[in-house]
Structure 1
């Protein structure tokens, strides 16, 4: 016979693992109880009898719900039962009828929209519409199996392995919420191996490539999209991400009488979700001033590189002007993000400590900056080579100034 106690937060927390499953009944609400599994997982439920059959409605895990919250749900379920309803069967029917299309709406409204940054939300919508909805939208949640998902996601998109990985990540996040919210018992994405992802080779641009690119940017400013050209230079001169530049507003820039200028990035606009104050070199600061004079923004909240139709609307991307620029420069394979890599690698080549490089680049983790470590190694090797050559010359020329400058002390 199950023990009875008033279920409180303290009571549930103190329940111990015994190696066997057991149940503690609440003394206040009939049918309300907490179950402790053999492994120690604790969950609240409401138990009732209908037409001679015992029914059990799971209310939620104790790790998510407090005892008081679960008791309120039990009271609601009991009221429905007393009205002749069958809450457990109704949940099962709703779960069985829940298609992926419907669940996407639930997930979007309940979790994604209120808790995700706008840029990430746009990416989620794109992945859902292009990779998940076409093959899974009409399927019911309980019909999703690991084998089915592996075929529909990983095999279907085997020619685009990175796309398959993004789709699997979003789907797994959705189905984890489906488990938490009681629609399914387990996440069928677990156990599906993701495709290996290989980082592209990172190299700084050569002097000739820099010249060609800067000439192409000059041409874009004169003949094409002035604002886009300035955006590209901002990336070149600061190592900013494209999204940070597209979110930059006039109010974020700060100009001083002594010539100093800064770009104050908001935490909501940076990948690391931290504010950043970026000093601007004179050439790019002057370029932004010229852009301001041309754009004549009527509101400081307007974007510096806005939609071509409305200065108050953010531009979606810079693909079209970037294609023109790289074609004019003869650098057809150069990605816009490669300008950021070029900036970061140039700092490492100049011997800037990797920790400082990471801060300037906005890396959350030093391991990300380690991708550029070989450039720093090359800079150190060059320094030690200069010292080695000096000593070699001193040894080769007796009486040379270098040799006379070397003093050895007996200890």
Structure 2
């Protein structure tokens, strides 16, 4: 075990002993400070020491060509002091090395999402399009709250909707919460949890008027998609969600009972949707194919549509309704029912709301209906009073 006073000149000229694969030179000043010289010419600085259990440990300080002698000596001195105080630099380094990258955690997050989410595509899209490009290569302990907050703010400035940015934040936070539950190193301190959530109002009220509905149907008549008019009509007549209708099967529809069973919905529960006579008339005219179970499939593939975006965008722009979303048809269905005098509870049941809070967004429409009722009552009272006073 050759000993020497390690300095810049000695390390520069040190050579491996002839016939050896490597030679270790131990510093006479800093206990455990070692220069390893290999027969290939490579050199590396180490700190070697005994841990609390008496086992010899080795901590790599750096390769000779990567750090200067002064840097290696200062690092060795600091780590030696840590050892004297009962620390274990090698164990700490091993723990740090065991911390995975966010990409590894994201892969487990997505696998978990696929095991229970009805449609994990949204989670996958956020991970692949937003989170992985920015954070995928970083170890979990390298992701800091300040950087996350700054990045989310940049997303806002780039023009992303508040709801979209918040969804990114929620999924990012979920990754770390899952990692903590799974005892993954580096997830003890969740950097996303410390980023304050921005307050925003995502409420949007857009309802079709009768005139707008007529313009929309005229535009749908010109569409190249032979099913789009039936899809839009049934969305308006049933208040169903888009995916509920696109994945509807004939075996769940009973025209005789005027009922449509939706086996699984956004809330995770099944529900029956009553079918009006107008909806039945549309369903009776839908094309059907042998062996095809779907209510409104793509005629070319005989499978549910992956998207109807192009046909919808063309029709709404043709109708002069560029701000109308497909989901607004669901709101419009609720509006038409409430304005016809149907109470909020019944509307909530038809739409499949999990709680009354979701239906309360239409309460102002119900108030309009009630106001019309009291006005009618007042008018009747006024007429009777005038008749009696004559």
> Does residue 1:99 correspond to 2:101, yes or no?
yes
> Does residue 1:198 correspond to 2:201, yes or no?
yes
Between 246-255 and 164-173, report the one with greater CA deviation: 246-255
Aligned equivalents of 1:49, 1:122: Cα separation in 2: 50
Specify whether residues 261 and 219 from structure 1 end up closer, same or farther in structure 2 by C-alpha distance, changes over 3 A only: farther
Specify whether residues 102 and 135 from structure 1 end up closer, same or farther in structure 2 by C-alpha distance, changes over 3 A only: same
Structure 1 stretches of 5 or more lacking a match? 1-47, 54-85, 401-411
Specify whether residues 390 and 284 from structure 1 end up closer, same or farther in structure 2 by C-alpha distance, changes over 3 A only: closer
Among 269, 277, 280, the residue aligned to 1:282: 277
Aligned equivalents of 1:305, 1:49: Cα separation in 2: 71
Counterpart residue number, 1:217: 220
Aligned equivalents of 1:393, 1:285: Cα separation in 2: 42
Specify whether residues 51 and 152 from structure 1 end up closer, same or farther in structure 2 by C-alpha distance, changes over 3 A only: farther
**Preserved contact between residue 171 and residue 189 of structure 1 (Cα < 8 Å):** yes
Could you report, residue by residue, the CA deviation over 1:127-151 in whole angstroms, capped at 9, with x for unpaired residues? 1112111211111111111111111
Aligned equivalents of 1:207, 1:227: Cα separation in 2: 22
Aligned equivalents of 1:105, 1:51: Cα separation in 2: 40
What SS does the corresponding residue of 1:135 show, helix, strand or coil?
helix
What SS does the corresponding residue of 1:226 show, helix, strand or coil?
coil
Specify whether residues 152 and 203 from structure 1 end up closer, same or farther in structure 2 by C-alpha distance, changes over 3 A only: closer
> Does residue 1:266 correspond to 2:267, yes or no?
no
Aligned equivalents of 1:266, 1:87: Cα separation in 2: 54
Counterpart residue number, 1:347: 337
**Preserved contact between residue 163 and residue 202 of structure 2 (Cα < 8 Å):** no
Aligned equivalents of 1:360, 1:317: Cα separation in 2: 25
**Preserved contact between residue 235 and residue 242 of structure 2 (Cα < 8 Å):** yes
What SS does the corresponding residue of 2:268 show, helix, strand or coil?
coil
Structure 2 stretches of 5 or more lacking a match? 1-50, 57-89
Specify whether residues 248 and 370 from structure 1 end up closer, same or farther in structure 2 by C-alpha distance, changes over 3 A only: same
- Cα root mean square deviation, aligned: 2.6
**Preserved contact between residue 308 and residue 315 of structure 1 (Cα < 8 Å):** no
Could you report, residue by residue, the CA deviation over 1:100-122 in whole angstroms, capped at 9, with x for unpaired residues? 1122112222x2221221x2x10
Aligned equivalents of 1:308, 1:94: Cα separation in 2: 53
What SS does the corresponding residue of 1:292 show, helix, strand or coil?
coil
* Paired residues for 1:33-48 under 5 Å: none
**Cα deviation, residue 50, structure 1:** 4.7
> Does residue 1:299 correspond to 2:300, yes or no?
no
Aligned equivalents of 2:338, 2:53: Cα separation in 1: 72
What SS does the corresponding residue of 2:137 show, helix, strand or coil?
coil
Counterpart residue number, 1:112: 113
Could you report, residue by residue, the CA deviation over 1:19-59 in whole angstroms, capped at 9, with x for unpaired residues? xxxxxxxxxxxxxxxxxxxxxxxxxxxxx975459xxxxxx
Aligned equivalents of 2:378, 2:237: Cα separation in 1: 34
The two structures have a TM-score, normalised by structure 1, of: 0.68
Name the larger-Rg structure. 2
Could you report, residue by residue, the CA deviation over 1:168-214 in whole angstroms, capped at 9, with x for unpaired residues? 00000001112222222121111322233323442432221122122
Aligned equivalents of 2:127, 2:258: Cα separation in 1: 41
Counterpart residue number, 2:179: 178
> Does residue 1:234 correspond to 2:234, yes or no?
yes
Could you report, residue by residue, the CA deviation over 1:303-342 in whole angstroms, capped at 9, with x for unpaired residues? 3344565224x32222111112212322222111111101
Counterpart residue number, 2:374: 384
* Paired residues for 1:247-266 under 5 Å: 247-256=247-256, 260-266=257-263
Aligned equivalents of 1:49, 1:250: Cα separation in 2: 72
**Preserved contact between residue 217 and residue 325 of structure 1 (Cα < 8 Å):** yes
> Does residue 1:361 correspond to 2:351, yes or no?
yes
**Cα deviation, residue 274, structure 1:** 1.3
Aligned equivalents of 2:357, 2:140: Cα separation in 1: 38
Specify whether residues 103 and 254 from structure 1 end up closer, same or farther in structure 2 by C-alpha distance, changes over 3 A only: same
Aligned equivalents of 1:191, 1:226: Cα separation in 2: 51
Counterpart residue number, 1:135: 134
